[in-house]
Amino acid sequence: MITAPLLVRWYATLATVSALLATQAIVFPRWQEAPGPLPTQQLEAGLREANLLSPTKRPSSTTPWPAMRRYELATSAPVVFPLRGGFELTLMHATVRQRFNFQTGTMGRAQPSLKLSKRRLIDTPVPTATGLAQDRPVFQTCLVSGPGLVRAFGVTRDQLAANADQLSSGIDSAVARVIGLEPNRTYACTLISLRGPKGDPPSDRLWRQVLDLVEPVLRSQG
């Protein structure tokens, strides 16, 4: 015979388990999906129209490294554009599983051309990490694509996660994720890396020009 105290304990246990599952669904995303390919043709067309592409080097038809999908980090195959003056623009979609790793330093750490040493942060014209990759000066940021995001660039975990939180805010969104009507919170952005020749860092003007060109193309994808 089921007594009232047993029923109370059963319902309390059920409520606790449900709360834990709901919290996990909201806070911790499952295994992330592999990022889709970048809009290479649209990006190349915009850079060519702005006369930024190198007149002597053509964008390679093969990528320097393949797409990757691991438990913690998934990345698309990058696109690399040789620009005038020996500069090089690399873009790569990246998704991480945990909020703690949602930062540009995590996304580029496996690739020598993206991994920064002597790293420091600046905030002009957008949050930017500067440093050296293979002894060449680099500017980096990451763009979170989504509706309603005004300041969508970021470098640190706090900056990027704030945008992810904004996209997934509201009790309706949380409930929808728990019952499966919306996907779990996604920690994803597009890494944008501008590398100059040795001893010649990108100018603020070139960095701003590149960001103004690639942002609308990347946003149109998201």
Going from the first residue of the chain to its last (222 residues), give the mean pLDDT of each consecutive group of 10, the final group possibly shorter: 59 55 50 78 95 91 89 93 97 93 93 96 94 97 86 94 78 42 71 96 96 94 70
User: What CA–CA distance (Å, rounded) separates 74 from 179?
Assistant: 25
Closest-CA residue to 44 (of 85, 101, 83): 83
User: What CA–CA distance (Å, rounded) separates 130 from 138?
Assistant: 6
In a domain, 19, yes or no: no
In a domain, 12, yes or no: no
In a domain, 5, yes or no: no
In a domain, 25, yes or no: no
Residues 6+ apart with CB under 8 A from 41: none
CB distance 198 to 135 below 8 Å: yes
In three-state secondary structure terms, 196 is: coil
Q: How many domains does the chain have?
A: 1
User: What CA–CA distance (Å, rounded) separates 31 from 163?
Assistant: 20
Read off the tokens for 182: 């919306």
Alpha helices in the chain (DSSP H): 4-27, 40-49, 104-107, 157-167, 171-178, 204-221
The confidence score (pLDDT) of residue 174 equals 42
Residue with the two structure tokens 């105290």: 5
Q: State which residues form the domain around 150.
A: 31-221
CB distance 152 to 166 below 8 Å: no
In a domain, 95, yes or no: yes
In a domain, 49, yes or no: yes
pTM of the model: 0.81
The confidence score (pLDDT) of residue 148 equals 75
User: What CA–CA distance (Å, rounded) separates 106 from 185?
Assistant: 18
In a domain, 13, yes or no: no
In a domain, 14, yes or no: no
User: What CA–CA distance (Å, rounded) separates 37 from 108?
Assistant: 17
